Structure 1
Amino acid sequence: MNCAQARETARRVLAEHDAPPALVADVLTVVSELVSNAIRHGEGLTGFRIAVSAGQVTIEVSDRSPLPPHLRPPSPDTPGGFGWRVVRTLAPGTFVRFHRGGKTITATLPSPGSPPPTP
């Protein structure tokens, strides 16, 4: 699966639940960041899942890397480095679970009007 396929899967799932456009945009941003980082920095995407339930959207992205994501300091000389910050801002319930095959990042976005989830 690549970024475009993951975004299309997310769009389809969110359409089934009549998600508001602002939530769709935020979810697609988080999906793009997590999937592209898994491919680029995580030794390859090994899993992707999206689910909608009880006022929240949960995205799970797995990769082969045992290294945790990290914030890079902004630098005018180096492009990028904002993805993890964007994910943590849009999905306040984000956490990382490490396992034998690498790691799984679970990002939870609250629907509008829902309280933020607790990790």
Structure 2
Amino acid sequence: MRAKYRTEPIDAPDARARPHGHGPCRPADVRRAIRCAVACRCRDSGSPCDENGLSDALLVASELTTNAILHGGGITEYDVQVDAHAVRVSVSDRSDRLPVVTDPLDERGRRRTGGRGWPIVCRLSRDVRVTDLPAGGKRITAVVSVF
């Protein structure tokens, strides 16, 4: 099962609460698409999903979409695919900058806020790929086991 969505960029902070254009553009929209795709797969196959795996997939989707909004110039597209064992979620944004792991401490030795999303994505996913897009920007695809 596959669902593909295009969305307009989210630039203004107040725009994050409402969709632009014809497509979804919030982390909740991507989580909803994952829940729906997994529920259909479970219904069609008669086999249950791993609730912990589903929670992991939802957290990964939240982190990817939030990072695209905060650091990538907004979500330009996302894609959700479900196969016999996993959910594959791809999130595209406008930035060519690759995700990085940041030092949890600032220059004064104090704990930074943020910087935990990318390590969470890498830890919970069985595969993560970053692809440059031909027109600019990037797509990050994460595969999370849920069955």
TM-score range, shorter chain: 0.7 to 0.9
Alignment partner of 1:56 out of 64, 69, 86: 86
Q: By how many angstroms is 1:32 displaced? A: 0.1
Give the alignment of 1:18-29 within 5 angstroms. 18=42, 19-29=49-59
SS class of match (1:22)? helix
Q: By how many angstroms is 1:5 displaced? A: 1.2
Q: By how many angstroms is 1:17 displaced? A: 2.0
Q: What amino acid does structure 2 have at the position aligned with 1:81?
A: G
Q: Structure 2 CA distance, aligned partners of 1:68 and 1:90?
A: 19
Q: Structure 2 CA distance, aligned partners of 1:77 and 1:109?
A: 29
Q: Match of 1:39? A: 69
Larger Rg: 2
Mean Cα displacement is larger for which, 31-40 or 70-79?
70-79
SS class of match (2:61)? helix
8 Å contact 2:57–2:146 — kept in the other structure? no
| Normalised TM-score (structure 1) | 0.87
Q: Match of 1:6? A: 30
CA deviation map 1:35-68 (0-9, x unaligned): 0000110001001111111312111000000000
Identity %: 36
Structure 1: unaligned runs, 5 residues or longer: 113-119
| Normalised TM-score (structure 2) | 0.71
Q: By how many angstroms is 1:96 displaced? A: 0.2
Q: CA RMSD in A?
A: 1.3
Alignment partner of 1:69 out of 86, 93, 99: 99
SS class of match (1:17)? helix
Give the alignment of 1:74-113 within 5 angstroms. 74-75=104-105, 76-99=110-133, 100-111=135-146
Q: How many aligned residue pairs are there?
A: 112
